[in-house]
Each structure stands twice: as C-alpha cells, then as structure tokens.
C-alpha cells in the first residue's frame, strides 16, 4: 500500500484530485457560509466546522458505495451487431453515466456563473434558518448535491491506477480528507481568492469536462466496445495531467501579468 502511495502516478493523482476537490468545494463553501450566516454570530463557526466534518463523512460513505458499483466488472449483457460490439457491466454504466453527468453539470455551471452569477446564492438566501441543527441539515443537503460531481471526479482520476481497487479507494479518501481539512482551515481565504480570481473556478469546471469525456471513453474501453471492427482505447491519464498542469501554468503567468500591471 505504502509503495503504491509513493509512486509518481499516485502522488500526481493525489495532488490533482485534491486541487480539483478544493475547486469543486468553493461553491460548497459559499453556500455553507450563506447558511451559517443566518444563525446567531456565536453559532456560525460551529455550524461551518460541524457541517464540513459531516460532509467529509458523507463523501467517504458515497465513495464506498460508488466504489462497490465500480467493482462490478463482469458483463451482464452483450450487444452484438454487425458494426457494434458492447459488453455491458455495472462498472461501464457508472462510468458512462458519470461522464455524461460531469459534462452536463460543468457546462451548466459555466453557463450559470457567466450568465446568472448570483442565481443559486439568491435562492438559498430566501430560506430562513431557526436552529443549528436546521443549518447543519441544510449544509448536508447542499454538500450531497455537490458531492456527486466530486465523487465522480475522484473515480475518474483514480480508476485504473492500481489493479487492487481498494488501493484506489484509499487514495480517494486521502484526497477527500485533505481537501475538507483545507476547507475547514482556510474556508474564508479560499473563498475570497476564488472570488477575486473567478477564472480559477471556470478552469476547474473546464477540467471536469475533460474528465467527463475521459470517463466515457474509459467506459467504452472497459466494455470492449468495437465500432466497425475498431476497439475503443483508453485515454492515458498523463494527457490529462499535462493539460491541467499547462493550464495552471498559463493561469499563473496571467496572475503575474495582472499583478504587475496593477503595481
């Protein structure tokens, strides 16, 4: 286990996944802050911390559930046509549906942030909170909604890293724990940084579109899909890492240029 976690692939996947988990958690932090701010001053910090800790437990449980479904690799139905061959398994279905969901969710989020930037916050602001338990319940509901794309991203980034799926599960759990810990410790600074640099969140959503496409191709590959006799291959994760690293480097240069122009 330790040998796997210290490999370059595992470290790169952990760093990338932790970064994406934090980026995906920005909206969560904003909404949690809005929910907590409806409580008396002395309960706000407590609601945020408890809400995020319970959110971490909720995400880990979801990881176990999704990982169980991903482990069902045996095909239960085969489509055999003259031009198409697909061996359908639960693993392939989860990856395919997850990929479609990530592409849809990311595209919708980009549209809302560009066209309707305050839509979700305004809806949440309309709801009154009367107690700490009510605030925490609302935080858990919000986190569950945001956990779906987070969990699917984790599955997409770690799927196939190690033959033993439990090793990949441990890597996902570590990334979730680290990201939640960072959110608890730096919730407000992270939110302010992203608010002042909204391009970072758009960049993270663009990465999700890439991951969604990768999940779909991975699903086709694991189903041994053949189109007109040509089998669909898997996309090496190194391509994804390079795209993310290159984009972040360009964004870093953009930050430096903007900072220099302001000086």
Band (pLDDT 50/70/90 cuts) for residue 233 is: confident
What is the pLDDT averaged over residues 57-80?
Answer: 79
pLDDT of residue 213: 86
pLDDT of residue 93: 84
Q: Is the pLDDT of residue 156 over 80?
A: no
Percent of the chain with pLDDT strictly greater than 90:
0
What is the pLDDT averaged over residues 8-34?
Answer: 75
What is the pLDDT averaged over residues 210-216?
Answer: 82
What is the pLDDT averaged over residues 86-111?
Answer: 82
Q: Is the pLDDT of residue 30 over 70?
A: no
pLDDT in tens, 114-141: 776 555 555 555 555 567 777 777 777 7
Q: Is the pLDDT of residue 63 over 70?
A: yes
Mean pLDDT of the chain: 76
Strand partners, 229: none
Band (pLDDT 50/70/90 cuts) for residue 95 is: confident
d(CA 2, CA 241): 22
More confident residue, 81 or 200: 81
CB 237 within 8 A of CB 157: yes
Tokens representing 82?
């003259």
Q: Is the pLDDT of residue 21 over 70?
A: yes
pLDDT of residue 35: 67
> Which residues lie closer than 8 Å to 257 by C-beta, 6 or more apart?
none
Tokens representing 200?
């970072």
CB 243 within 8 A of CB 210: yes
Q: Is the pLDDT of residue 112 over 80?
A: no
CA distances (Å), origin 153, targets 125, 138, 185, 260:
29, 23, 23, 35
pLDDT of residue 149: 65
pLDDT of residue 171: 86
> Which residues lie closer than 8 Å to 73 by C-beta, 6 or more apart?
89, 91, 222
Residue 195 burial (CB count, 10 A): 11
């Amino acid at each position: 286990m330790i040998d796997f976690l210290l490999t370059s692939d595992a470290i790169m996947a952990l760093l990338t996944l932790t970064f994406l988990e934090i980026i995906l958690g920005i909206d969560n932090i904003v909404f949690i802050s809005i929910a907590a701010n409806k409580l008396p001053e002395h309960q706000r910090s407590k609601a945020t911390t408890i809400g995020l800790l319970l959110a971490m437990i909720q995400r880990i449980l979801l990881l176990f559930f999704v990982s169980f479904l991903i482990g069902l690799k045996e095909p239960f139905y085969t489509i055999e046509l003259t031009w198409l061959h697909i061996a359908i398994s639960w693993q392939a279905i989860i990856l395919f549906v997850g990929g479609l969901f990530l592409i849809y969710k990311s595209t919708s989020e980009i549209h809302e942030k560009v066209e309707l930037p305050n839509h979700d916050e305004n809806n949440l602001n309309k709801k009154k909170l009367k107690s700490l338990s009510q605030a925490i319940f609302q935080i858990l509901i919000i986190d569950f909604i945001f956990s779906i794309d987070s969990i699917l991203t984790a599955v997409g980034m770690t799927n196939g890293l190690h033959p033993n799926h439990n090793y990949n599960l441990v890597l996902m759990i570590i990334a979730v724990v680290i990201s939640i810990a960072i959110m608890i410790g730096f919730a407000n600074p992270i939110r302010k940084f992203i608010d002042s640099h909204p391009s970072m969140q758009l960049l993270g959503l663009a990465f999700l579109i890439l991951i969604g496409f990768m999940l779909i191709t991975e699903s086709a590959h694991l189903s041994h899909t053949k189109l007109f006799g040509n089998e669909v291959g898997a996309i090496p994760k190194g391509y994804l890492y390079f795209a993310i690293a290159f984009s972040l480097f360009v964004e870093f240069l953009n930050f430096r240029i903007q900072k220099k122009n302001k000086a």
